[in-house]
């Protein structure tokens, strides 16, 4: 459970979102924004200064279940839905993508935004970004991180449960269309919603897509892309399953976290999903 210190968004004053979108970066800590920006062509990049973000409607919560933060940490910032409302081009641009400096990429679709109300954090325990503590691995949380008032899983598919999307080191936010981004990894062919292929797709969309890219979409943190994973699933399903369950047992230097809790049905679903990809599909890329 969370404690809302200021549940209603506070507005420091009248803000002009369009005037906040800077054409050029003025400081290393500016937040890049892109995708479908209001009044601008797709693919345009603009910059938001930290001090300008502080002028947007703010929300404050005490969080107790964010694995990046100690219990009873007070966070203050801007809801991702507020950013979309102010800077996104249309209601169709409702998928919010957070991109980190290391290539990690988190997608926030409509259902996730509604269930968990993620927040772009601007202050931690009342301290501005320059005074933030270090992350658990000794790195920096900045320039931005994303958290929640609290997190309660909203769905479960086989043994995969809805996971909190709480990246730090966020440098860029994009406003995109779900059909375009997720269309890059939709399984080839028509499959019933309760089929293993579609179950594997739902799991991969939330989990694998954060680090593995498919063309222009998805994260780039991993050295193995979507096509290469599909090839392993087709040619050596046993190895593919072992990589998911315990990647270090296949590649000792692997940074990917294992999924020892995934049962055989979940691994079967992921294998079936990735096996639907072909080299011809891999070469096609969705429109932006």
- Owning domain of residue 42: 3-176
- What gap in Å lies between CA 137 and CA 267, rounded to an integer? 29
173, 97 in Cβ contact below 8 A? yes
Mean pLDDT for the chain overall: 89
Number of domains making up the chain:
2
> Residues 224, 143: one domain?
no
- For residue 35 the two structure tokens come to 């995708």
Sheet holding 95-100, edge to edge: 46-48, 31-35, 170-176, 95-100, 105-108
pLDDT for residue 135 is more than 90: no
pLDDT digits (tens, 9 = 90+) for 141-151: 989 999 999 99
> Residues 118, 234: one domain?
no
33, 174 in Cβ contact below 8 A? yes
- What's residue 116's pLDDT? 98
> Residues 200, 141: one domain?
no
**pLDDT band for position 92 (cuts 50, 70, 90):** low
- What's residue 15's pLDDT? 73
pLDDT digits (tens, 9 = 90+) for 34-83: 999 999 999 999 999 999 999 999 999 999 999 999 999 999 999 999 99
- What's residue 284's pLDDT? 44
Percent of the residues in the chain that have a pLDDT greater than 70, as a whole number: 89
> Residues 13, 102: one domain?
yes
Residue 288 lies in a domain: no
The DSSP output letter for 207 is T
pLDDT digits (tens, 9 = 90+) for 97-127: 999 999 999 999 999 999 999 999 999 999 9
Tell me the whole-structure pTM to 2 decimals. 0.89
- What gap in Å lies between CA 63 and CA 285, rounded to an integer? 39
> Residues 25, 57: one domain?
yes
Q: What is the mean pLDDT of residues 197-222?
A: 96
pLDDT digits (tens, 9 = 90+) for 249-284: 988 888 888 999 999 999 999 999 999 986 545 444
For 231-256, give the DSSP string.
Answer: HHHHH-HHHHHHHHH-GGGT-TT--S
> Residues 26, 116: one domain?
yes
Q: Which of 136, 154, 176 is the last residue of a domain?
A: 176
pLDDT for residue 139 is more than 80: no
**β-sheet bridge partners, residue 59:** 77
- What's residue 253's pLDDT? 81
> Residues 200, 121: one domain?
no
- What's residue 256's pLDDT? 87
Residue 73 lies in a domain: yes
């Amino acid at each position: 459970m969370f404690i809302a210190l200021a549940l209603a968004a506070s507005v420091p004053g009248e803000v002009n979102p369009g005037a906040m979108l800077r054409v050029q970066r003025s400081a290393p800590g500016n937040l890049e924004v892109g995708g479908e920006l209001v009044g601008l062509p797709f693919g345009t990049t603009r910059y938001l200064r930290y001090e300008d973000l502080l002028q947007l409607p703010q929300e404050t919560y005490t969080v107790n279940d964010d694995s990046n933060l100690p219990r009873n940490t007070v966070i203050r910032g801007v809801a991702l839905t507020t950013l979309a409302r102010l800077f996104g081009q249309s209601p169709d641009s409702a998928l919010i993508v957070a991109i980190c400096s290391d290539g990690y990429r988190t997608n926030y679709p409509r259902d996730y935004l509604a269930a968990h109300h993620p927040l772009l954090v601007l202050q931690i325990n009342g301290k501005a970004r320059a005074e933030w503590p270090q992350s658990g691995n000794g790195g920096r949380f900045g320039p931005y991180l994303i958290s929640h008032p609290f997190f309660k899983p909203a769905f479960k598919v086989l043994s995969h449960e809805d996971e909190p999307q709480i990246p730090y080191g966020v440098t860029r936010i994009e406003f995109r269309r779900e059909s375009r981004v997720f269309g890059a990894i939709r399984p080839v062919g028509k499959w019933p919603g309760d089929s293993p292929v579609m179950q594997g797709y739902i799991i991969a969309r939330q989990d694998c897509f954060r680090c593995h890219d498919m063309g222009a979409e998805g994260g780039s943190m991993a050295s193995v892309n979507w096509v290469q994973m599909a090839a392993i699933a087709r040619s050596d399903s046993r190895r593919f399953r072992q990589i998911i369950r315990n990647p270090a047992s296949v590649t000792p230097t692997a940074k990917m976290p294992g999924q020892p809790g995934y049962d055989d049905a979940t691994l079967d679903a992921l294998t079936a999903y990735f096996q639907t990809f072909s080299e011809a599909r891999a070469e096609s890329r969705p429109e932006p």
